[in-house]
Chains A and B, each alone.
Chain A
Amino acid sequence: MNDDDLHSLLKQWEIDLPDDPRFRASVWREIATRDSSSCLDSLRSWLDRFSSPRLALPLGACAALAVMGTASLHGLHNREQTWSKLASTYASAIDPVMQMERESSLEARN
């Protein structure tokens, strides 16, 4: 086929769009399916990267250590706060001056 033939053939060519009102919707649906499969692909590649025993074991150990450290710090903080509160409660239970101050501040608040 020479250039002239191709030119005349292209001139004759008409795009025959289907007369389907749901055509656009189906195109968008197709795009969405391709997008989601690309998400799945990236998830798969991410999981593949971390699922090798050489990487998964140290990663798991680090995560466990980080969680234990954070929980210990949180627990220690909570314990110190409660202990300090109970020490104050004890002191005010044995000291009339602190009892009076507490009652005065309660009266002032009311």
Chain B
Amino acid sequence: MALYRKIIVVIFSLVVLVCLYAGVFHWMTADTAQAMKAERPELEWLRLEYNLDEEQFSEIRAKHEAHDIVCRDLCRRLVEARKQLDRAINEEGTMSPVVSAALAQWTEQRQRCREATLEHMYDVSSVMSPEAAKRYRERIFRQLIIPGRMPHVGDDGEFHEEIIDHAAPAENQR
């Protein structure tokens, strides 16, 4: 075989290997690329990750959009509560009833937000298959409550952050 012919064969082989790399990479990341191109990538992730059919997906999408309005309102209230707490801490020179009240209000608002999130999570998981619902709940717990801590105001009116044994996934309980 002539030298130049051999060189062409080597170059052609390298091109084939590069194409093979690109093809395998594209095949491995096809679903993520599809999700990223969607209008709401996070919902597309939900659809692909939990194998939702069209009916399930449209129901969850409607629930998501309804929850979005509630979520924005709660977020606004939480920001207000935090600003009040910041103001009270900066203005008061000691742990006064004003600071305590602002802290209680902020904690209560935070708990309300988390309850709304968990309520939505249960609502969404009720649409999924039992196996997908279990995986979804575990994932959301992992994202929201690491490592299974839930802030709340106790009977004594004080701020607590306790481990929710029945809620957090086993690997997050430390």
Say if the beta carbon of B64 comes within 8 Å of chain A.
yes
The size of the chain A interface, using a CB distance under 8 A, is: 36
CB closest residue in chain B, given A48: B6
Given A83-B49, A100-B79, are A71 and B43 neighbors across the interface (CB < 8 Å)? no
Say if the beta carbon of A40 comes within 8 Å of chain B.
yes
Given A47-B6, A67-B20, are A83 and B82 neighbors across the interface (CB < 8 Å)? no
Beta-carbon contact of B140 and A91 below 8 Å: yes
Given A87-B143, A103-B75, are A64 and B117 neighbors across the interface (CB < 8 Å)? no
Given A47-B7, A79-B28, A79-B32, are A71 and B45 neighbors across the interface (CB < 8 Å)? no
Interface residues of A in 61-110 (CB under 8 A from B): 63-64, 67-68, 70-72, 74-76, 78-79, 82-83, 86-91, 93-100, 103-104
Beta-carbon contact of A94 and B64 below 8 Å: yes
Nearest 3 interchain pairs by C-beta: A75-B28, A71-B24, A86-B45
Residues of chain A touching chain B, judged by Cβ–Cβ distance below 8 Å, are: 40, 43-44, 47, 51, 60, 63-64, 67-68, 70-72, 74-76, 78-79, 82-83, 86-91, 93-100, 103-104
For this complex, 25 residue pairs linking A to B, each with C-beta atoms less than 8 Å apart, are: A40-B3, A44-B3, A44-B6, A51-B6, A71-B20, A71-B22, A71-B28, A72-B24, A75-B28, A78-B25, A79-B29, A82-B35, A83-B32, A86-B35, A86-B36, A86-B42, A91-B143, A93-B42, A94-B67, A94-B71, A94-B120, A96-B71, A96-B117, A100-B78, A103-B79
User: Known pairs A87-B143, A96-B116, A97-B144. 12 more at Cβ < 8 A?
Assistant: A43-B7, A47-B6, A75-B24, A79-B32, A83-B32, A86-B45, A93-B68, A95-B144, A96-B113, A97-B110, A97-B114, A99-B72
